[in-house]
Structure 1
Amino acid sequence: MAHPYADLLRDRHVRVLWAGLALSAVGGELYRVGAIWLATEAAGANAALLVTAQSAAILVVSLFGGPLAERFPRGPFLIATDLASAAACLAVVVSALSGGLDLPTLVVASVLLSAFGGLARPVFLSSLPALVGPERIRAVNGLFDGVVRVAQAAGPFLAAAALAAIPAVHLLSANAASFLVSAAAILTLGRRLEPTAVAPSASRPDLLRRLARGVHAANACPGVWAALLATAVRGGAYALGFTVAVPLLFAQSEGAGGLGAVALVFGAAAAAELLAGPVLVLGEPRRPLRRQFEGYVMIGLSLALVGAAAALPHSSRLPAMVAAAALMGVANAVAGLQMMTFFAARLASDDHAAVLRLRLVLVISAMMAASAMGPLFLRALGPATTTIGCGLLAAAGGLAGALSRPSRTLGPGFKPS
């Protein structure tokens, strides 16, 4: 039998969208790695505040952007957010070439890109079932999640190589070009991302109910809240303990490898996640929701190992951190695939998008809180100990979810057994 991905990629529209997303995702990773490194060099532990600003932007659009996104056809809306993102990147490039790039400008650009991404991603993910049909939801989630993992694996290495040859600001130029490619790919699909059934205008809920749609949908589906809370804990721990603490660890250690070492650690996590995804999509565990929480436990323990490896002798420190990051990548694939399949299988299209926005609210709130306290913890404990503590907290959140009743009772297809 052919792999499910091969079947999907025979569809021209899936191929075009997949290719557009691939380039856009690589561009986003170039920006992400370059921005956090520039912020770390410029502000040390205060670089955590860049993540705080990005988190605040995503939180605002997650809370209030849903009703706005629902007013427009999905294809044109996604094209508009891509074009706006490209314009934001190019504006910073022009500013930098005319007078120099400073930290406030970098923060503004990051906030805008985070806001546009926070608006677009739930719409995009909840549109995939309309493109391929409900019988291929699991496979298409794995395929499109996989292309993001490819970008996360390649992005750090590409950023490190690019910075050796071009000014860092041109990472934003590449990101702008990738947004334009993504917009063109979506344009070719016409109305294929629109849901087949649209609620009549007479039954359209008022503003308050639309804002709270994700909460209502989560309340009505056992297991959703446990998944959302475990994801939030993991998000906060990852933002501070990995995204900020690992670059700071290498920036503060002379001879530790600089951005190249950061690229190896980040890239190992993403590459392992990428390689694990196509294998995991081939089978379904007997208790799929419990498997999701087992993934979160594994994420937390692996993150703690990344921090612990920093205490090893210099010759073995980087290899040990890379190995722990790779283990964390496999765990990310386990948890991520199960979560997206769970939501797609149990929630209708609009509820699916609303729960994804609710997930963003919770995850970004946790990231914002963790990164806002980052300068305090990083200065008091150091980056390595901060990473260990964040990992243990994420593991505890996953363990709580694994012991919940839905985790123990939902069987194949996330149906009660």
Structure 2
Amino acid sequence: MHSYRRDLQLLRDRRFALLLAARTVSVLGSAFAPVALAFGVLELAGANATTLSVVLAAQAIPQVVFMLAGGVLADRFPRYRVMIAGEVLCAAAYTVLAAMLVTGWAPLPGLVVGAVLSGIGVALFYPSLVGIVPEVVAAERLQAANGLLRLGTNFARIAGYALAGATVVLVGAGPALAVSAAMFAGSALLIAALRLPARVRSATGTGTNPLADLRDGWREFVSRQWIWVIVLQFAFLVMALQAAHGVLGPVVAKEEMGGAAAWSAVLAGEAVGMVVGVVIAIRIRPRRPMLVSVLLTVPTALPYLLLGIYAPLWMVVLGAVVMGICFDIFGVLWETSLQREIPPDALSRVSSYDALGSLMFGPVGLLVAGPAAAVFGARPTLIACAGLIVLSTLAALCSPGVRNMRLSDPGPAAEPAPAAAKVAVPAA
């Protein structure tokens, strides 16, 4: 059993502390965005669930389209600089969206442009985030680092979701989005203070051609069955999550549960569960981490099932707590497994394929959710989303690579490799 005290010593490391602060501030801002954007759009004259589906799909599609480019950039250039670019783009996007909602001039094409910019920002940021953690901490401390990062972000989500609902109710969605923009800008400043040294790249690794980089990353991705099977599982799981979390849940909350405050309570319950999940995930060392991780995705269907069967709000919030616990245990084990098993020079590209595959059907869920709610009703569609989550999980468990995957020994802290074996990554 490892020591929590030893894990907390990571906070004394300046670079890890900066990374933790930046990620926490960023998530605090992003927690405002889904609540403010959803209810801001739904409050527009003539807007409905289909309008919200279009705006959220405009945000999700660029995340998919530009994710591979984000992975290539993160493996070619200093990752912290790519992260800064992503955060600045998100800050600009939410500033534009906030201005439109505050002024009342919010044509659908303008909302779509702002949503597209924020999606590109996320596509730049995410592959770099996964890849930068091994640059900051030693291999044997990756699981603790991933857990502490998630612990900070989950506390930020709790505060963000609670404050977002209150802000939307008291002053409106536009000011809430302005807060989100300011937080992304603050995160960019904290990341800039990291100033990590130039990374090194294996001379036998990627070439100078971005397409060759993508091919090399693809080979790493498909060579491990447990990776591509779980990514395929999450393609369907995320489609259900996007439909339920992005459209159907807010629609039911607005029409039957009291509006933004009720949905913020559900999101806050999920965030509380994530905190508990991280505390568990930092400590556990399952012999078969991917088997445990995939099994834990089954209970994530619970809040959507409860919403679908007209359960009271307190039960839905408890279901969201369970969902949060399961998702964060999964997240810590998944990120640690990628960082331990994938060569550092290919990590961001593999992460981008992971994100691309996991998110590829997300826009479909967003686009279909509104029309499906209109035809079948929001609650029956939520039950269908819960069923899709369970079925995709059962399919992933059929894979021997998932059931039998074990982590390699991290060994001692890595020493710098001989200069002859590596070449420097070009400066940004």
Answer yes or no: same fold by TM over 0.5.
yes
Selected match of 2:389 from 370, 394, 404:
394
Of 230, 234, 237, the residue aligned with 2:233 is: 230
Structure 2 counterparts to residues 9-24 of structure 1, below 5 A: 9-24=11-26
Q: Residue 169 of structure 1 aligns to a residue in which SS?
A: helix
For 1:118, the aligned partner's letter is A
Farther off after superposition, 159-168 or 324-333: 159-168
Does structure 2 retain, via aligned residues, the 8 Å contact 1:88–1:109?
Answer: yes
**Cross-structure match for 1:385:** 380
Helix, strand or coil: the match of 2:361? helix
Checking the alignment, whether the CA contact within 8 Å between 2:39 and 2:173 is kept in structure 1 is no
Give the letter aligned to residue 351 of structure 1: A
Kindly indicate whether the alpha-carbon contact (under 8 Å) linking 1:58 and 1:114 is maintained by their aligned counterparts in 2.
Answer: yes
The DSSP-based 3-state class of the residue aligned with 1:223 is helix
Answering whether residue 114 of structure 2 is matched by residue 113 of structure 1, we say no
Deviations 1:105-162 (A, max 9, x none): 3332222111111111111221111101211111111111222222332222111111
Distance apart, 1:213 and its partner CA: 3.7
Distance (Å, rounded) in 2 between the aligned partners of 1:63 and 1:104: 26
Q: Deviations over 1:45-73 (max 9, x none)?
A: 21122221111111111144433444432
Does residue 406 in structure 1 map to residue 401 in structure 2?
A: yes
- Counterparts of 1:250-261 in structure 2, within 5 Å, are 250-253=253-256, 256-261=257-262
Shift in CA distance, 75/64, structure 1 to aligned 2, threshold 3 Å: closer
Question: TM-score, with normalisation over the residues of structure 2?
Answer: 0.88
Give the corresponding residue for 2:266. 265
Report the Cα offset of residue 205 of structure 1.
5.0
Cα separation, partners in 2 of 1:263 and 1:203, compared to 1, 3 Å = closer
Deviation per residue, 1:286-306 (Å, 9 max, x gap): 221100110122223x14433
1:127 and 2:132 correspond: yes
Correspondences of 1:274-313 after superposition (within 5 Å): 274-300=275-301, 302-310=302-310, 312=311
The aligned amino acid for 1:58 is Q
* Equivalent residue, structure 1, for 2:83: 78
Question: RMSD of the TM alignment (CA)?
Answer: 2.3
Is 2:48 the partner of 1:44? yes
Structure 1's unaligned 5+ residue stretches are none
Q: Distance in 1 between matches of 2:182 and 2:173?
A: 15
TM-score normalised per structure 1: 0.90
State the alpha-carbon separation in 1 of the partners of residues 216 and 94 from structure 2. 33
**Structure 1 contact 295–398 (Cα < 8 Å) conserved:** no
What is the CA–CA distance in structure 1 between the aligned matches of 2:102 and 2:306, rounded to whole Å? 38
State the 1:393 CA deviation. 0.9
| Structure 2 counterpart SS, 1:281 | helix
| 8 Å CA contact 1:303, 1:388 repeated in 2 | no
Question: Which of 146, 163, 175 in structure 2 is aligned with 1:141?
Answer: 146
Tell me if structure 2 keeps the 8 A contact 1:268–1:323: yes
**In 2: Cα distance, 1:27 partner to 1:304 partner:** 25
Report the count of equivalent residues: 405
Amino acid at match of 1:387: L
Residues 230, 397 of structure 1: 8 Å contact kept: yes
SS in 2 for 1:164: helix
Return 225-234 or 96-105, whichever deviates more: 96-105
Equivalent position SS for 1:403: coil
Contact 2:74 2:348 in 1 (8 A): no
After TM superposition, give the deviation of residue 414 of structure 1 in Å.
8.8
Instruction: Kindly report which structure 2 residues correspond to 1:16-35, keeping only aligned pairs within 5 A, or say none.
Output: 16-35=18-37
TM-superposed CA distance for 1:245, in Å, is: 0.7
The residue that corresponds to 2:195 in the other structure is 190
Amino acid at match of 1:182: S
Q: 1:203 to 1:368 in 2, by over 3 A?
A: closer
Cα offsets for 1:364-390 (capped at 9, x unmatched) = 211011112222311122111111111
Q: Report the CA distance shift for 1:413/1:69 in structure 2 as closer, same or farther (over 3 A).
A: closer
Partners of 2:393 and 2:249 lie apart in 1 by 22
Summarize the Cα distance change of 1:410–1:382 in structure 2 as closer, same or farther, 3 Å threshold.
Answer: same
Is 1:54 the counterpart of 2:59? The answer is yes
- Which SS does the other structure have where 1:101 is aligned? coil
CA gap 1:188/1:202 in 2 versus in 1, 3 angstroms: same
- 2:414 equivalent in structure 1: none
Q: 2: CA distance between counterparts of 1:203 and 1:107?
A: 36
TM superposition shift of 1:413: 4.6
Match of 1:363 in 2: 358
Cross-structure match for 1:209 = 212
Decide whether aligned partners of structure 1 residues 26 and 228 sit closer, same or farther in structure 2, where only a CA change above 3 A counts. same
Q: What secondary structure sits across from 1:411 in the alignment?
A: coil
Distance 1:368 1:240 in 2: 9
Structure 1 residues 297 and 38, CA gap change in structure 2 (3 angstroms): same
Amino acid at match of 2:317: V
String of CA shifts for 1:302-355, please: whole Å, max 9, x gaps: 144333442x4xxxx111211111111112122212211221111012322112
- The 2-side partners of 1:335 and 1:202 are apart by 30
Quote the sequence identity (%): 25
